[in-house]
Amino acid sequence: MKLIVKKENILLQYLYENLDMPKKRIKQYLVHGSIFINNNKIVKYDYKVYPGMTIFIDTNSKSKKMLPFQIIYEDDHIIVVNKPSGLLTVSTTKEKEKTLYHIVREYLHSKKITNKLFIIHRLDKDTSGIVIFAKDEKTKNMFQEKWNEIALLREYVAVVHGNLKNPSGKIKQNLLETKTNLVYVSRNNEGKTAITNYKVMKENKDYSLVNITIETGRKNQIRVAFSSMKHPIVGDTKYGIKETKKERLYLHANRLKIFYPYLKKELLFETQIPNEFKNIMKKGDSLKIKTKFIL
C-alpha cells in the first residue's frame, strides 16, 4: 500500500484520516516495523510528514515474528539491538507498551523464549543506537555490578550546530539535576562528574559531525556537554534550539565494546550511521574534512 503525502501532519493521524483503517491496526503496523517513509522504517506515532513524502505500508509483514529494528547480537544470555530514535527504552507511568523493552520481550516470547528480560543500561528516548538486554537475572546483575569494567568503549556520533573551535577535546563537568529532571552544569563542583571526549569528523557551513566517547554514563551528559559549549545537538529541543522539520535528535550510539565474561573475550558491536546524519552533512558546501571519514 502506497501513499503520497499531500498535507503536513503527524503520521498516525495522517494515516487515520486517509485510510479506511482503524487506529489500532495502524499502530500495529508501526510497532511491527511495517511502515516506511522515503524507504526509511518508521515506528514513531508522532513522526511528522510533509507534502511529497512517500509512505509505504507492508501489509504482509505485520504477522511476522520479527523486530522492527536490527538485532546486532543474540545468544542464551544477552540480546543486543539497535534502538530507533523516539522509542523509550523502558516503561514510564505514562507509557507501558510502546517501549524497546516491551517490543523485545514480545519478540522473545513469540520464539517460545519465556525467560524474563532485564535491562542492563538505557538510552534517552530520542537517542538511537546500541542497547543490551539480559535474558536472565544472573547476567543482569553481573553486567550492572561491573558495568564500568565490562563496557570498554562507549562511542556515539552526533551532528551539532556550527563549527567547533577545537577539532577535538575532553569535556569534564559536574552535573546536577533539577526537580523537573533537567540536567545542568554545576558551578560549585557539586554533583556527579561527567567526562565526554569528542573529535570533529566533518563540517559544512551549518553543522559538524562529531565522534564522541564517554568515560562516564551520566544522564543527558552528551547533550548537556555540547549545549554548554554553545554547539547543541541538532534536534535537541530540551537543551538546544527549538527547530522545525527536524524529525529526531541527531545523537546515535554507534559502537559498544564489552568484555564478555561468558566467552572471556572482547566483543565489539557496531551499527551504521543513520541516513539522516549523512544527508544533513551533504547539504550546503562542505568546508573541510577533519579526519578521514567516508559517508
Can you give the pLDDT at residue 291? 37
Residue-wise burial string across 22-40, b where 16 or more C-beta atoms lie within 10 A, e elsewhere:
eeeebbebbbbbbbebeee
Angle (CA) 62-276-225 rounded to 5° is 115
Residues 121 and 69 placed together within one structural domain of the fold: yes
Residues 283 and 183 placed together within one structural domain of the fold: yes
| Res 65 pLDDT > 80 | no
Contacts of 164 (CB under 8 A, 6+ apart): 198, 200, 208, 210, 229, 231
| Res 289 pLDDT > 60 | no
Residues 156 and 291 placed together within one structural domain of the fold: yes
Note the Cα 217 to chain centre separation in Å. 15
Q: Hey, what's the cell of 243? A: 527547530
CB 196 within 8 A of CB 179: no
Q: Which of 16, 38, 57 is the last residue of a domain?
A: 57
Residues 69 and 42 placed together within one structural domain of the fold: no
Residues 139 and 159 placed together within one structural domain of the fold: no
Residues 46 and 103 placed together within one structural domain of the fold: no
Q: Which of 145, 178, 208 is the last residue of a domain?
A: 145
Q: Where are the alpha helices (DSSP H) in 32-99?
A: none
Can you give the pLDDT at residue 28? 81
Residues 279 and 152 placed together within one structural domain of the fold: yes
Can you give the pLDDT at residue 2? 87
Nearest to 160 by CA among 208, 212, 205, 221: 208
Q: What number is the average pLDDT over the span 249-273?
A: 95
Q: Where in the sequence is the domain holding 131, given as residue range(s)?
A: 65-145
Can you give the pLDDT at residue 111? 78
pLDDT in tens, 131-189: 999 999 999 999 999 998 999 999 999 999 999 999 999 999 999 999 998 999 998 88
Q: What is the CATH number of the domain that holds 132?
A: 3.30.2350.10
Q: With bands split at pLDDT 50, 70 and 90, how would you rate the model's confidence at 286?
A: very low
Mean pLDDT over the full length of the chain: 88
Cα atoms found within 13 Å of the Cα of residue 97, Cβ hemisphere only: 6
Residues 188 and 52 placed together within one structural domain of the fold: no
Residues 44 and 113 placed together within one structural domain of the fold: no
**Number of structural domains the chain divides into:** 3
The CA distance from 71 to 222, in Å, is: 25
